[in-house]
């Protein structure tokens, strides 16, 4: 077909004539969004999203009516909060970002336990993994906000979460405003001052926390899910409704109220900084942590998670209403740092009798002691932190291979262990390039292997083994495994005028950054990221340039 206009354009632009014809840009996208809104929902598995999708009416409904990737993957094996948040706006798997876990071991540290927290600054005297100065210095790659500010320093980058690692890993190294809950109050980096609107939001949140809250009413979907599950010692979960005493900070944090506070602060930052109304694109990032605290405290299958997700849906609707009122051109993306699954006691009652808790059969200290005995070492042969097992630094160099060999044998023979990967083998593997749903366990571990931070062995427990031995202590369910219930999360894009489509094939959370970058003309140097651009135009046009 002869296209005279295209031919004329080519003649008028000699340099373009030599290049490929430019793909047409999606007419439905704002030409240049003035604001990117990035939302992480902590522990929102693809399974939970699918379960509740019919019940959403607010902000989650809006996102679910946009461009939907229901099988997004936190593709790596380290399905924890810090690695997950570090993938969302960096395009980097943990093998590149360096954030391989919430906590890992650094045997060069002088502290007794050698545990380093992911958003800690260990150079601060007296720092430990539980009492630390919050910092992004362990994150070895730039975030979207860092990259935007490098190109247009006038851009504003803000992030808020009730977890410090949620705020820091989204906001990055150069954020203008970072706010997180420190266990007693909202806090930020030293010297950071809240705008008056943000200070007013803090004051209102403190007042609410100081006021006793009655039980929440149960809407029909949550009433249907309110079934009591015994967890021992007469304790139960499953029917909770978040009534709490005045000033109960722990109960507040593991309740829908915490996400209401996060959204309040996000809206206050949006309005006080007039985000999206300057000359350069801005970034507003938030992480809603309540689904994670609630999931750990009560599991995912009862009234508690139901109330939490339906509340978050409403609260995100409130955020979008504020954005809409402003007239700012924005693009929103929503995903999760990891998935999760329910406590074994409820899974057993719900047709999964093989769901179990880890027990004395899997004991890292006993394995270490046995190897020390067998090899006649006078130090513990191994140290363990989560899935990572490290040869103790005092083991003589010539004995290290023997320790690793024997540890692999013992762990592989363990009835609760699916697979043991060796760090040396992971280091030699190429970074995976197949679709994430096809990855082997070794590929998953490779994507979160970082030399010097990861263990000498990485251990995958079997599916459906929850690594919490005793649920009576207030922590009943978790995530963090190699398995798809922890890896698979929704990835949702929305902007005013979006032409919706759904792509059920697997994509990765590291695809988010390279998908957003072309929308704001942000250059991404080749070789710096692990993801790829997802074409958010479901028709013949493309958003990937
Ligand atoms: Zn998390």
Mean pLDDT of 466-481: 96
The rounded percent of the chain whose pLDDT value lies above 70 is 94
Return residues with CB closer than 5 A to ligand 1 (ion). 42, 81, 292, 337
**What integer is the mean pLDDT of 271-278?**
98
Are 344 and 371 within one domain?
no
The CATH number assigned to the domain holding 335 equals 3.40.720.10
pLDDT at residue 192 tops 90? yes
Integer Cα distance of 451 and 457 in angstroms:
12
Q: What is the pLDDT of residue 110?
A: 95
What confidence tens digit (pLDDT) does each residue in 317-345 have? 999 999 999 999 999 999 999 999 999 99
Question: Do 324 and 427 share a domain, yes or no?
Answer: no
pLDDT value of position 9: 38
Whether residue 32 is found in the same domain as residue 171: yes
CA–centroid distance, 86 to ligand 1, in Å, is 11
Q: What is the token pair recorded at 384? A: 């363990």
- What are the C-alpha distances in Å from 516 to residues 88, 273, 350, 506, 520? 11, 22, 40, 18, 7
Q: How far is the CA of 255 from the centre of ligand 1 (A)?
A: 15
Residue 227 above 80 pLDDT?
A: yes
Range of the domain at 442: 363-413+417-461
- The verdict on residue 214 lying in a domain is yes
Look at residue 433 and tell me if it is in a domain: yes
Specify whether 440 is located in the same domain as 401. Answer: yes
**Mind listing the pLDDT tens digit for each residue in 37-82?**
999 999 999 999 999 999 999 999 999 999 999 999 999 999 999 9
Is it the case that residue 168 has pLDDT exceeding 70?
Answer: yes
Q: How far is the CA of 293 from the centre of ligand 1 (A)?
A: 8
The beta-strand segments (E) located in 55-171 are: 67-73, 103-105, 115-117, 157-161
How big is the chain, counted in residues?
545
Per-residue confidence (pLDDT) for residue 27, from 0 to 100 = 52
On the question of pLDDT at 144 being above 90, the answer is yes
pLDDT value for 545: 81
Taking residues 517-532, report their average pLDDT: 95
Q: What is the pTM of this model?
A: 0.94
Q: Could you give the number of structural domains in the chain?
A: 2
| 336 & 404 share domain | no
Distance 13 CA to ligand 1 centre (A): 50
Active site residue ranges: 81
Q: Could you report the per-residue pLDDT of 303-321, keeping only the tens digit for each?
A: 999 999 999 999 999 999 9
Q: In this structure, is residue 127 part of a structural domain?
A: no
Q: Same domain for 341 and 373?
A: no
pLDDT at 28: 57
148 versus 11: the higher-pLDDT residue is 148
Structure confidence at residue 14 (pLDDT): 34
Asked if residue 333 and residue 279 are part of one domain, the reply reads yes
- Residue 10: the pLDDT is 36
Judgement on whether residues 302 and 448 belong to the same structural domain of the protein: no
Give CA 446 to chain center in angstroms. 18
- Mean of pLDDT over the chain: 94
Spell out the residues 6+ positions from residue 235 whose beta carbon is closer than 8 angstroms to its own.
Answer: 471, 472
Among 27-36, 384-393, 439-448, the range scoring the smallest mean pLDDT is: 27-36
* Angle, CA of 388, 389 and 395, to the nearest 5°: 150
| Cα-to-centroid distance, 266 and ligand 1 (Å) | 19
Q: What is the dihedral of CA 438, 439, 440, 444, to 10 degrees?
A: -160
Q: What's the pLDDT tens digit per position in 348-379?
A: 999 999 999 999 999 999 999 999 999 999 98
């Amino acid at each position: 077909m002869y296209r005279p206009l295209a031919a004329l354009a080519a003649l008028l632009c000699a340099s373009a004539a030599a290049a490929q014809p430019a793909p047409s840009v999606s007419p439905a996208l704002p030409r240049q969004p003035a604001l990117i809104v990035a939302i992480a929902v902590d522990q929102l598995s693809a399974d939970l999203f699918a379960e509740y999708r019919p019940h959403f009416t607010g902000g989650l409904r809006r996102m679910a009516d946009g461009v939907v990737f229901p099988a997004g993957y936190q593709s790596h094996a380290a399905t924890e909060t810090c690695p997950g948040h570090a993938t969302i706006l960096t395009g980097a798997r943990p093998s590149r970002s360096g954030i391989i876990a919430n906590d890992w071991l650094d045997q060069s540290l002088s502290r007794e336990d050698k545990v380093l927290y992911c958003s800690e600054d260990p150079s601060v005297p007296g720092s430990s993994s539980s009492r630390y100065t919050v910092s992004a210095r362990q994150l070895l790659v730039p975030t979207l906000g860092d990259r935007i500010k490098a190109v247009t320093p006038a851009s504003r980058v803000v992030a808020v979460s009730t977890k410090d690692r949620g705020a820091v890993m989204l906001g990055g190294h150069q954020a203008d405003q970072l706010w997180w809950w420190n266990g007693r109050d909202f806090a930020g980096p030293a010297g950071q001052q809240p705008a008056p609107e943000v200070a007013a939001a803090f004051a209102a949140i403190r007042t609410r926390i100081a006021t006793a809250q009655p039980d929440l009413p149960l809407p029909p979907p949550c009433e249907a899910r309110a079934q009591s599950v015994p967890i021992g010692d007469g304790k139960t979960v499953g029917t909770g409704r978040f009534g709490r005493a005045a000033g109960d900070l722990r109960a507040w944090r593991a309740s829908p109220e915490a996400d209401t506070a996060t959204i309040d602060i996000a809206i206050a930052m949006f309005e006080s900084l007039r985000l999206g109304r300057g000359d350069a694109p801005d970034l507003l990032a938030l992480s809603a942590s309540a689904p994670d605290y609630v999931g750990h405290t009560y599991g995912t299958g009862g009234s508690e998670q139901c109330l939490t997700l339906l509340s978050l849906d409403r609260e995100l609707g409130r955020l979008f209403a504020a954005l809409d009122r402003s007239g700012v051109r924005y693009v929103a993306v929503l995903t999760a740092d990891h998935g999760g699954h329910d406590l074994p006691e409820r899974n057993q009652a719900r047709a999964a009798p093989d769901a179990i808790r880890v027990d004395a059969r899997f004991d890292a200290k006993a394995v270490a002691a046995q190897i020390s005995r067998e090899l006649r070492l006078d130090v513990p042969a191994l140290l363990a932190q989560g899935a990572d097992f490290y040869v103790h630094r005092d083991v003589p160099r010539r004995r290290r291979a023997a320790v690793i060999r024997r540890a692999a044998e013992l762990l592989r023979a363990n009835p609760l262990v699916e697979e043991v990967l060796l760090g040396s083998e992971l280091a030699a593997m190429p970074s995976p390039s197949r679709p994430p749903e096809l990855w082997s366990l070794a590929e998953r571990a490779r994507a979160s292997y970082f030399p010097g931070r990861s263990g000498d062995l990485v251990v995958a427990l079997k599916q459906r083994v929850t690594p919490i031995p005793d649920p009576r202590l207030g922590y009943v369910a978790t995530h963090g495994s190699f398995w798809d219930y922890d890896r698979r999360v929704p990835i949702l894009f929305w902007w005013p005028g979006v032409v919706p489509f759904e792509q059920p094939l697997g994509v990765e959370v590291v695809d988010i950054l390279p998908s957003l970058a072309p929308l704001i003309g942000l250059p991404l140097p080749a070789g710096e990221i692990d993801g790829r651009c997802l074409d958010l135009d479901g028709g013949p046009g493309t958003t990937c340039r």
